[in-house]
Amino acid sequence: DQQVKQNSPSLSVQEGRISILNCDYTNSMFDYFLWYKKYPAEGPTFLISISSIKDKNEDGRFTVFLNKSAKHLSLHIVPSQPGDSAVYFCAASETGNTPLVFGKGTRLSVIA
């Protein structure tokens, strides 16, 4: 049973427009959420995170929104750039020294 779900396997966006990647989770014990970005032949790299005490965290062009009641988070990239083309993984964890649980990923293609 998947605890973290990314229902869109792929997304195409034009350069300069907004990219919105979505993620849903089922475990109400999750209180820390992250997005990782992965290029081909490389390991995933950390992008941005949010704690459950917040509903928004922003870092430059990247903003993560958390809706705890809906158990939903999203990553907004504005403006999208061709270099953002990658696979984006949503991940979540509980408090303490617990492992991250990952979604299956969404492949973002930013078209010039």
Binding positions for other proteins, rule: CB under 8 A? 32, 36, 41-46, 49, 51, 89, 93-105
Of 15 and 107, CB closest to other proteins: 107
Q: Closer to other proteins at the Cβ: 6 or 85?
A: 6
User: How many residues does this entry show for the chain?
Assistant: 112
Please identify, using beta-carbon distances, which residue of 12 and 98 lies nearer to other proteins.
98
* Least spacing, CB of residue 16 vs other proteins, in Å: 30
**Nearest by Cα to 102 from 13, 18, 30:** 30
| Cβ atoms within 10 Å, residue 48 | 17
Quick one: tokens of 93? 């964890």
At its nearest, how many Å lie between other proteins and the CB of residue 96? 6
The sign of the torsion formed by the CA atoms of 20, 69, 103, 53 equals: positive
Q: Min. distance of Cβ 4 from other proteins in angstroms? A: 9
The answer to whether the beta carbons of residues 71 and 80 sit under 8 Å apart is no
Looking at the Cβ atoms of 80 and 91, the one nearer to other proteins is: 91
The distance of closest approach from Cβ of residue 65 to other proteins in the complex, given in angstroms and rounded to an integer, is: 19
